[in-house]
Structure 1
Amino acid sequence: MLSIPAVLAACAAPGSSKAPADPYLWLEDVTGDRSLAWVRQRNAESAQVLAAGPEFPATRSRLLEIMNSTDKIPAIRRIGGHVYNLWRDDTHKRGLWRRTTLADYARTQPAWESVIDLDALGRAENENWVWGGATCLSGPTPAQQGRCMIALSRGGADAAVYREFDLPSRTFVAGGFALPEAKSQVEWIDRDTLFVGTDFGPGSKTESGYPRLVKEWKRGTPLASATTVLEADVKDVYTFAHVDSTPGFERRFIGRALDFYRTELFLRSDGRLVPIDKPVDALFWAHRQWAFLQPRSAYTVDGTT
């Protein structure tokens, strides 16, 4: 194994002003045979060290027992008339997205209904799917509920594919909204419209590899025809959108992350972006008629800090 000084010495090209070549650039191919062989070798070296102690077998057994315990309290998310949970155990290693009613959840043994079995889906499609989350349509009426965009990543990568899913039938929507593998962000506006940030082609990503554009995408139209709502700088980290569907307080927020601690936020109103007057390092959120601000640095308003 090379030491850090040795690696730096090897990368340095004396008398050259050009940036040194990266000898590990081939590791960017995270699913390539050479990369995976390198990972397996490093894992074997680590396992040999970690498993050397006499306490390792007992510790491993105890942790597996905890991870596979059926007594874990399922973390839930309420969507419509059900609560949803992603459950992992020794049978469902990738996870089982399941649901039950709120009343049944309060019982000692809730009757869970399978919604998406990640392990079965991966086997059926010959993919190593990892759960990336569900972005679901939210509203007070059935017409404003029942659809989700499901994110599935290959092997847990940052990039994911998105597919539209129908909750009542527990099936993916044929011909529905779908995004190819990319570092994407989606948000429902209504049943037939999405805010989308994804890889739209050259120039559509920031230097960090995340979406630089927020677009509005209508059902039944090509992704390429989506309308640009916000365009960020290439040096920003990413763009984002949030829709507040609270009845009587519906709002659409669009923003750009300058870095991981500073954001600029806009309210989209009548097709215009109205800037939210806040310090870039302050956290902001809205609830009904209230706006909340959490400053991270000194904040002066009307002469008062």
Structure 2
Amino acid sequence: MAMYGHTADADALTERIVDVAMAKDRITMCARHGDWGYNIWNDEQRPLGFIRRTPWDAWVESQPRWETVLDIDALDLNRRDGDDIRWVLVDFALIYPTYDRALVRLSPSGSDACIVREFDVESRTFVKNGFELPEPGHHRVAWIDRDTVYVG
């Protein structure tokens, strides 16, 4: 049994996992944050995934009206020429009770290290001069209040 590298069994399993993860009929789940239901999704056009939301009432009525909040594939970090790093979403932690800011944890090429950046949900942009841990590390972060975070 090979632990590393490609084998026919490993390649078949990888293909099966990707097929299931990208299936159009997969079950959609979301988490409620105020008046919104948030969801992390991916598809053929955005395989790295994106954060989207729908009004909670529309979700409950089975008529979601999704809007993209953050598209990981479209990040400037993922579009630099000559850069082999693809940034992968690790976490999107919204601040309570306003839910208008998020701490976004991104991993370089899917490693277990990450960077952290503060994100403005309404403007759909990273906060200029906002909270940031720019060097990849094994960070754990959580909001204390709008101006303070826990870092571990």
| TM-score, shorter chain, exceeding 0.5 | yes
Kindly indicate whether the alpha-carbon contact (under 8 Å) linking 1:80 and 1:146 is maintained by their aligned counterparts in 2: no
Q: Which has the larger radius of gyration?
A: 1
Residues 171/80 of structure 1: CA separation in 2 closer, same or farther (3 Å cut): farther
Compute the displacement of 1:109 (Å): 4.7
* Alignment partner, residue 151 of structure 1: 105
Matched, 1:195 2:150: yes
Residue number in structure 2 paired with 1:79 = 33
Q: 1:71, CA displacement in angstroms?
A: 2.1
Amino acid at match of 2:57: A
1:179 aligns with 2:133: yes
Distance 1:146 1:94 in 2: 23
Q: Return closer, same or farther for 1:168/1:62 CA change in 2, 3 Å cut-off.
A: same
Q: State the alpha-carbon separation in 1 of the partners of residues 29 and 18 from structure 2.
A: 19
Shift of 1:185: 1.2
Please tell me the residue identity of whatever aligns with 2:131.
F
Q: Deviation at 1:169?
A: 1.4
Matched, 1:43 2:5: yes
Q: Deviations over 1:226-261 (max 9, x none)?
A: xxxxxxxxxxxxxxxxxxxxxxxxxxxxxxxxxxxx
Q: Number of aligned pairs?
A: 145
Show the counterpart of 1:96. Answer: 50
Structure 1 residue 83, shift from structure 2 partner: 1.1
The letter for the 2-side match of 1:172 is F
| Aligned-partner Cα distance in 2 for 1:51–1:156 | 19
Q: What does residue 73 of structure 2 align with? A: 119
Secondary structure, counterpart of 1:105 in structure 2: helix
CA deviations 1:260-305 (Å, max 9, x no partner) are xxxxxxxxxxxxxxxxxxxxxxxxxxxxxxxxxxxxxxxxxxxxxx
SS in 2 for 1:43: coil
Query: Whole-Å Cα distance in 1 between the matches of residues 113 and 103 of structure 2?
Result: 15
Check conservation: 2:117, 2:133, Cα contact below 8 A: yes
Post-superposition shift, 1:153? 0.3
* Distance in 1 between residues matched to 2:63 and 2:29, nearest whole Å: 15
- Output the CA distance in 2 between the equivalents of 1:83 and 1:123: 26
Give the whole-Å Cα distance in 2 for the aligned partners of 1:163 and 1:119. Answer: 16
Identity among equivalent positions (%) equals 37
Contact 1:130 1:154 in 2 (8 A): yes
C-alpha RMSD of matched pairs (Å) = 2.6
1:64 is displaced (CA, Å) by: 5.1
| Relative contact order, higher structure (CA 8 A, sep 6+) | 2
Secondary structure of residue in 1 paired with 2:5: helix
Query: 1:134 is matched with which residue: 55, 73, 92?
Result: 92
Structure 1: gaps (5+ residues): 1-38, 198-305
Deviation at 1:103, TM superposition (A): 1.4
Matches within 5 A, 1:214-225: none
Greater Cα offset, 66-75 or 156-165: 66-75
TM-score of the superposed pair, with normalisation by structure 2: 0.81
Structure 2 unaligned blocks of 5 or more = none
- Aligned-partner SS, 1:119: helix
- Does structure 1 retain, via aligned residues, the 8 Å contact 2:94–2:102? yes
More strand by share: 2
Change beyond 3 A, Cα 1:179–1:92:
same
Looking at structure 1, the residues matched to 19 and 138 of structure 2 have their Cα atoms a distance apart, in angstroms, of 35
Matched residue SS, 2:70: strand
